[in-house]
Amino acid sequence: MLSRRMFTGCAICAAIGFAADDASAQAPNGIKRKIASRIDGPIEGYETLEVFVDIEPNFIIDWHTHPGTEAAYTLEGDGELHIKGEAMKMLKPGFSWLTPSETPHTLKNGSQATKLFVTFTVQKGKPLSTPVPAPT
């Protein structure tokens, strides 16, 4: 049976975790994204996507991983970022971070809308994001 938490995780991953080869997938309520650039590389079998991500106030992006690196920059808003094995980080305009490949992470948005600019360098043909259980 699909739990509420797992359903939310799956919905979130559908929003920012479209399959790398299906960039036209629809985002669920709570997140909007716009692909600014998509190119092959930097090495064979990978592609780089530059994406503007808008997150509604108080929205939670559940725990997930990516099949490559995620480099993000906060343009507007605030929130809490949790990356497995690291201290919680506070998002605010100008804050940037790098999430290593296959590293679980989650984001809890603050009371205002947040806008991020995210660069994904991921393996082609794999889902951009995969839901995972919260680390213990």
Alpha carbons 108 and 105: distance in angstroms, whole number: 10
Residue 13 lies in a domain: yes
Q: Give the domain extent around 36.
A: 4-131
Q: Does the structure show a pLDDT above 60 at 135?
A: yes
Residue 136 lies in a domain: no
Q: Structure tokens of 104?
A: 């679980």
Query: DSSP secondary structure string, 71-110?
Result: EEEEEE--EEEEETTS--EEE-TT-EEEE-TT--EEEEE-
pLDDT at 94: 98
Residue 16 lies in a domain: yes
- Give 19-72 pLDDT, tens digit per residue: 444 443 445 578 898 999 999 999 999 999 999 999 999 999 999 999 999 999
Phi, psi for residue 101 in degrees, rounded to 5:
-55, 140
Confidence of residue 9 (pLDDT cuts 50, 70, 90): very low
Q: What CATH number is given to the structural domain containing 119?
A: 2.60.120.10
How many domains, the chain? Answer: 1
pLDDT at 40: 97
